């Protein structure tokens, strides 16, 4: 049986642990190279591009992956620190067979990860990942000395990404008179995000723009907005844009320093796309974690909400398959496939700013789009030998409780892919209903 190595978004773990070390990364480069070379049919470029965020361990993994790719005959182009969405865009525009992003997203420097993009710029499907996992345990013959791949470091690609982002915006957009805090999480957007905002005319208060290899996401970024909130109030800013370490997600703060849920941003952009008649299929794609208030709001606009498993990769995959062009997650991954093949925090923030500029409203007024359903998310541990999702009585309990609230709420139960934990999300129009339901589920698990 082949072990499951890929998670929800590539491979991620502690640096120098089982799958995030130089030896494994080299094997991974060989296996991925072998897979894509076998699919090329002589029509592809035999090239791979590699980007990374600002973690010190990125150098180690970049070198190891490069060794693996070149030993199987692929040419490698090293992009340096660059946002994840830029890797997706450049994989396609540079006609690469494969794009690689070395990043653990919003995690601290102790972790790192490896994400992959296919030649179309979209993340790899579950099927492709399984095929690569099988190859990892096969003996693969390396190429002869004359066929070893070349390596080239290229520096101009960040400019290509920033220009592409700016071209996606309305012509003559000017952010003059907007004061914006931008928190780059000491990550991959530390150069381009403040620069783009300044070039568009905004007054920029940058934060998290001094990476040292160890401070990525440390007390900053989309998962820790406390300092950005302080800066908004201190400078009387109009909003804050808080990116994560690889800039594929964004959390906005209003002029009071208050966090805005990603579902509100999804609702606002969806409404704007509908007004512009550019929303394909009158459908928004999000995950099962999206708020029922968002679904109700979209339905009232005459729009559908298509829900996928958790992970922006699944959102983008459905959008690609069905031809939809807008979706995202409440965690701040916003995907606009007219411009990007994956979540792009900076792109989403800029499109919000274009709406804000036209509205003549404050950020808080504009992003108060719908009334969210009360929602609670908890993680419940269980003994590995007593998996609740394999227990018939537990399943019946969930079905009974779900049926009882079907008209006014929902219960979502899923298992963690990395630890013996059941993740339970309950949302209901009446907040008083949530805790009793949760208590019954907890009791059922404890009695297994």
Q: Provide the pLDDT for residue 41.
A: 59
Q: Please name every residue paired with 181 in a beta bridge, in sequence order, or none if there are none.
A: 205, 240
Task: Provide the b/e sequence for 367-381 (b: ≥16 CB within 10 Å).
Answer: bebbebbbbeeeebe
Tell me, yes or no, whether 277 and 323 share the same domain: yes
How many C-beta neighbours within 10 Å does residue 169 have?
17
Distance CA 337, CA 326 (A): 7
Does residue 341 form part of some domain? yes
Contact in structure between 90 and 80 (CB atoms under 8 Å)? no
How many domains does the chain contain in total?
Answer: 4
Tell me, yes or no, whether 114 and 203 share the same domain: no
Q: Provide the pLDDT for residue 38.
A: 85
Tell me, yes or no, whether 302 and 234 share the same domain: no
Tell me, yes or no, whether 55 and 173 share the same domain: no
CA 343 vs. chain centroid, Å, equals: 5
Q: Which two tokens stand for residue 156?
A: 């101009």
Tell me, yes or no, whether 129 and 149 share the same domain: yes
The torsion of the CA quartet 315, 316, 321, 322, rounded to 10 degrees, works out to: 60
Q: Provide the pLDDT for residue 40.
A: 66
Please provide residue 151's backbone torsions phi and psi, each rounded to the nearest 5 degrees: -130, 135
The torsion of the CA quartet 66, 69, 74, 80, rounded to 10 degrees, works out to: -30
Task: Provide the b/e sequence for 120-152 (b: ≥16 CB within 10 Å).
Answer: ebbbbeeebbebbbebbeeeeeeeeeeeebebe
Does residue 220 form part of some domain? yes
Q: Which two tokens stand for residue 144?
A: 């002869």
327-359, pLDDT tens digit by residue?
999 999 999 999 999 999 999 999 999 999 999
Distance CA 299, CA 320 (A): 22
Chosen domain end from 123, 155, 187: 155
Tell me, yes or no, whether 68 and 146 share the same domain: yes
Tell me, yes or no, whether 55 and 147 share the same domain: yes
Q: Provide the pLDDT for residue 418.
A: 60
Does residue 276 form part of some domain? yes
CA 354 vs. chain centroid, Å, equals: 22
- The pLDDT > 90 percentage for the chain reads 82
Does residue 379 form part of some domain? yes
Does residue 189 form part of some domain? yes
Residues designated as active site: 105
Does residue 435 form part of some domain? yes
Three-state SS letters, 226-240: HHHHHHHHHHCCCEE
Distance CA 212, CA 199 (A): 26
Which helix (H) or strand (E) is 49 found in, with range? strand 47-52
Q: Which two tokens stand for residue 218?
A: 């440390």
Query: Any idea what the CATH number is for the domain that residue 124 is in?
Result: 3.40.120.10
Q: Provide the pLDDT for residue 1.
A: 42
Q: Provide the pLDDT for residue 148.
A: 96
Tell me, yes or no, whether 353 and 400 share the same domain: no
Does residue 4 form part of some domain? no
Chosen domain end from 332, 366, 400: 366
Q: Which residues of the chain have pLDDT under 70?
A: 1-3, 40-44, 417-418
Tell me, yes or no, whether 84 and 98 share the same domain: yes
Pick from 415, 391, 406: which is nearest to 437 by CA? 406
Which range of residues forms the domain containing residue 439?
375-446
Task: Provide the b/e sequence for 322-359 (b: ≥16 CB within 10 Å).
Answer: eebbbbbbbbbbbbbbebbbbbbbbbbbbbbbbbbbee
Chosen domain end from 259, 284, 309: 259
Contacts of 427 (CB under 8 A, 6+ apart): 291, 292, 373, 374, 375, 376, 409, 410, 434
Query: Any idea what the CATH number is for the domain that residue 428 is in?
Result: 3.30.310.50
Does residue 5 form part of some domain? no
Q: What is the pTM of this model?
A: 0.92
Task: Provide the b/e sequence for 186-222 (b: ≥16 CB within 10 Å).
Answer: bbbbbebbbbbbeebebebbbbbbebeeebbbbebbb
Tell me, yes or no, whether 385 and 362 share the same domain: no
Pick from 161, 167, 223: which is nearest to 191 by CA? 161
Structure letter (DSSP) for residue 123: B
Tell me, yes or no, whether 141 and 26 share the same domain: yes
Pick from 374, 378, 376, 389: which is nearest to 423 by CA? 378
Q: Please name every residue paired with 152 in a beta bridge, in sequence order, or none if there are none.
A: 77
185: left (phi > 0), else alpha (psi -120 to 50), else beta?
left
Tell me, yes or no, whether 183 and 255 share the same domain: yes
Distance CA 429, CA 413 (A): 19
Q: Provide the pLDDT for residue 381.
A: 84
Structure letter (DSSP) for residue 19: S
Distance CA 431, CA 404 (A): 15
């Amino acid at each position: 049986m082949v072990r499951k190595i890929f998670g929800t978004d590539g491979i991620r773990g502690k640096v120098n642990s089982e799958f995030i070390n130089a030896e494994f990364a080299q094997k991974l480069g060989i296996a991925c190279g072998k897979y894509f070379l076998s699919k090329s049919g002589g029509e592809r470029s035999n090239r791979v591009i590699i980007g990374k965020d600002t973690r010190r361990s990125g150098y180690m993994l970049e070198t190891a992956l490069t060794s693996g790719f070149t030993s199987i005959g692929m040419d490698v182009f090293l992009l340096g620190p660059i946002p994840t969405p830029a890797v997706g865009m450049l994989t396609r525009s540079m006609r690469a067979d494969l794009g690689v992003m070395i990043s653990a997203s919003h995690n601290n420097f102790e972790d790192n990860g490896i994400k992959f993009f296919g030649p179309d710029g979209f993340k790899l499907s579950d099927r492709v990942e399984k095929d690569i996992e099988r190859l990892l345990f096969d003996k693969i013959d390396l190429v002869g000395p004359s066929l070893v791949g070349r390596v080239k470091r290229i520096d101009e690609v960040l400019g290509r990404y920033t220009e592409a982002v700016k071209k996606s915006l309305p012509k003559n957009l000017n952010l003059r008179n907007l004061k914006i805090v931008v928190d780059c999480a000491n990550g991959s957007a530390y150069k381009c995000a403040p620069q783009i905002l300044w070039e568009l005319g905004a007054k920029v208060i940058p934060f998290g723009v001094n990476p040292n290899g160890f401070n990525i996401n440390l007390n900053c970024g989309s998962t820790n907005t406390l300092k950005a909130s302080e800066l908004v109030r201190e400078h009387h800013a109009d909003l804050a844009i808080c990116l994560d370490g690889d800039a594929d997600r964004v959390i906005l703060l209003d002029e009071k320093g208050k966090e805005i849920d990603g579902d509100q941003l999804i609702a606002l952009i969806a409404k704007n796309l509908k007004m512009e008649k550019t929303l394909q299929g009158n459908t928004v794609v999000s995950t099962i974690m999206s708020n029922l208030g968002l679904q109700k709001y979209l339905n009232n606009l005459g729009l559908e909400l298509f829900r996928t498993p958790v992970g922006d990769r699944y959102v983008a995959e459905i959008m690609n398959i069905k031809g939809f062009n807008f979706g995202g997650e409440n965690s701040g991954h916003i995907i606009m496939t007219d411009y990007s093949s994956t979540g792009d925090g900076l792109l989403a923030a800029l499109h919000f700013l274009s709406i804000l500029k036209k509205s003549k409203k404050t950020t808080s007024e504009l992003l108060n789009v719908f009334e969210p359903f009360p929602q609670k998310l908890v993680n419940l541990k269980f003994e590995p030998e007593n998996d609740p999702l394999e227990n018939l009585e537990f399943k019946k309990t969930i079905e009974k409780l779900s049926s009882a609230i079907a008209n006014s709420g929902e219960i979502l139960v899923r298992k963690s892919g990395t630890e013996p934990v059941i993740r339970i999300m309950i949302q209901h129009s009446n907040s008083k209903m949530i805790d009793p339901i949760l208590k019954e589920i907890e009791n059922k698990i404890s009695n297994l």
